[in-house]
Each structure stands twice: as structure tokens, then as C-alpha cells.
Amino acid sequence: MIPSAVPREVLVRAPGKINLALTVGRPMPDGYHPLATVFQAVSLVEEVSARAADGFTLQVEGLHADRVPTDDSNLALRAARRLAEHAGVDDGVHLHVRKGVPVAGGMAGGSADAAAALLACDTLWRTGLPREELSELAGTLGADVPFALLGNTAVGRGRGDLLTPALSRGEYHWTLALQDHGLSTPEVFRTFDELLGGVDVEPEADRALLQALGSGDPDAVGAALGNDLQAAALELAPHLAETLAVAQDAGALGVVVSGSGPTVAALARSRTHAVAIAAALTAAGVSDGVLTATGPVPGARVVVGERAVTPRAGDHG
Ligand code: C5P
């Protein structure tokens, strides 16, 4: 038995995502846009550890950590509070977030934090919500949060939160071109409305892409990559056109702005090719950083659960 005075800690890992295809419609009365997207979870991950505490506190480190708000607007903290309210838990939690997904990059790093925090607190507090209930709660925190729980490959409809897992064969190699200045998702959607007004028909997931994923054909996947928000992201960050062109010239099978951007995702033939594309982007000076990743990878999962930790100075159990 672990004495109750000994604090327990739960560590959860949740992935970032690339939207392989994104079709966007006209905004609904609540301001959200109906969309159809094909998500792939990739090997850039957020790690969130949850430890019993009196109140709700947060510490963030890792990639671009200085750009993450640590006040009550932080999505991981909001997730923990939302679960506590929903499940009638009186305990608090200290969350420690280690970032591996670019901040405000269109890869849903904040959503991954929220998904990881939900699962970590659910495990720490032993609320034991079924995955579907956790996913519903996730959808109240943000459109991309349910996918960070689910992972792998899925079609997202509605706001992007209504998910159907999709078949995907093989491993895909990506080069990601990062930008120091993130784009605001609401602003990109607003610009999209101004530029295009959205399609009148119900958005549908790209069939050619789903077929290509199902048969594990990277050339066809590359050819089918597409994003309705790309023109809006380029309007707000015109230099991205050059980033896209350099990756294309380096032989990428396909290049796309991920989600609302500004991260540019280039599909490579192999891990070695992904590194070569990264080198070309760096040499051309068209990004503020490059990363390589593979996908698909699983959704949020507990990697260390309910481990008894040695109390540190200042810990209260
Ligand atoms: O759900 P999330 O908080 O990630 O969305 C951020 C913003 O992006 C929303 O407030 C909205 O302006 C925009 N959005 C949208 N349609 C979607 C998803 C997001 O207009 N389907």
C-alpha cells in the first residue's frame, strides 16, 4: 500500500497533428466553421505530468515554452478544472508540461496538452471516465482536443471534433518548417471568410487521399495533400510561399500548411530524405527552425501511472 501522504504522479504523452487535407465551409451561427479534415498524429509529442496538489498550478518547459500562457487561460489547466467540475473532484493538481509541438503552429500543441491533462488527471484522481466521455469533454475544450486523445489517422467532421478512425498503411516521414511568429487560428478563419467565403456544400473528406492512405502509397498521399486555409495563412504570412517552394524543389512528395499554420509540412520519401529537405530549408533561410517527424502515432496515453514519488522539499501530500 502507498501511504496517502505520498504524492503520486502520472505522466501522459499526447501527439501533435498534421491536417493532411482540410475542407472548410461557411461559418455557422456560433462562428465555428463546419469542416472535413483528415488528421494524422505525428511523433512530436507533449508530455504532461500531473501530481496531487492543493490548488491548480502549472509549469511549462521545452520548445517555445516562453510563448505559452501559464495563467487560467492555459488549455491544460482549463482541462484539469473542467474534469474536476465534471466528475465532482475536490482535489487540485500540479501540471508539468514539456512541449515538443511548435506553439501556435497549426499542429495542435495546446490541444495535445489539454488531452494529456484530461487523461493524466483522470488517472490521478481515479475518475475513470470512459474514453467516449473523456472525448466529449475534450470537445468542449477545443475542436482538435478529441483527436489528440484518439491519435493515429482519423477523419474529423463538424468543427473537427466528430471523429471516425481511418485506415492508414505504412509510415510517413515529414519535415516541418517552423516560424517564430505564430498565426492566430481565429484570424486565419476570418481571413478565409474574407477571401473565399467558404464552400456552400457540406465539406467532405478527400476520397483520393483516404484511398492513398489505405493503400499505403506515399506518392499519392503527397499529391492529395490540401488545405482550404492555406490561402488565408499565406495572405497573413506571405513569406510562407517561399518555404513551400523550397520544400517542393527539394523533392517533397507534397507540401502543405498544417491547419491554420504557419508550420509547413513536407512529405518525404524516407527519413534520410526528410533530413535533406530540412537541410535545404535551413540553407535557404526560409524557416526559423526545422524538425522531422513520422506518423501516424497513437493518441494520448499514460506512460507512467500513479507512480509513488519520493516527496521533495516543499511537497505537500
Ligand atoms: O476550437 P478551438 O479553440 O481550437 O478553435 C479556435 C478558433 O478557431 C475558434 O474560436 C474559431 O474562431 C476557429 N475555428 C473555426 N472553426 C472550426 C475550428 C476553429 O472557426 N471548425
| Distance from the first to the final alpha carbon of the chain | 15
Cis? peptide before 165, omega within 30° of 0: no
Distance CA 268, CA 21 (A): 17
Residue owning the nearest CA to atom 21 of ligand 1 = 159
Annotated catalytic residue, options 122, 144, 206, 228: 144
Residue 306 has pLDDT above 90, yes or no: no
CA–centroid distance, 63 to ligand 1, in Å, is 23
Pocket test for ligand 1, best of 32, 101, 103, 229 (most atoms within 8 A of CB): 32
Which of 44-53, 151-160, 166-175, 302-311 is predicted least confidently?
Answer: 302-311
Average pLDDT value for residue range 251-259: 98
Average pLDDT value for residue range 274-292: 97
The pLDDT, as a whole number, for residue 202 is 83
CA–centroid distance, 270 to ligand 1, in Å, is 33
Residue owning the nearest CA to atom 13 of ligand 1 = 186
Pocket test for ligand 1, best of 37, 82, 189, 258 (most atoms within 8 A of CB): 189
Active site residue 206: no
CA–centroid distance, 308 to ligand 1, in Å, is 39
| pLDDT interval class at 141 (50, 70, 90) | very high
Average pLDDT value for residue range 40-60: 97
Active site residue 99: no
Average pLDDT value for residue range 56-76: 94
Residue 309 has pLDDT above 60, yes or no: no
* Helices and strands, counts by H and E, the chain: 10, 12
* pTM, 2 dp: 0.92
pLDDT tens, residue by residue, 200-245: 778 999 999 999 999 999 999 999 999 999 999 999 999 999 999 9
Mean of the per-residue pLDDT values for the chain?
Answer: 92
CA–centroid distance, 297 to ligand 1, in Å, is 24
Cis? peptide before 296, omega within 30° of 0: yes
Distance CA 33, CA 85 (A): 28
The pLDDT, as a whole number, for residue 104 is 85
Count Cβ atoms below 10 Å from residue 174 Cβ, excluding itself: 23
The pLDDT, as a whole number, for residue 196 is 79
**Grid-cell match 499526447, residue found:** 14
Q: Please work out whether the CB of residue 161 comes within 6 Å of at least one atom of ligand 1.
A: no
The pLDDT, as a whole number, for residue 312 is 41
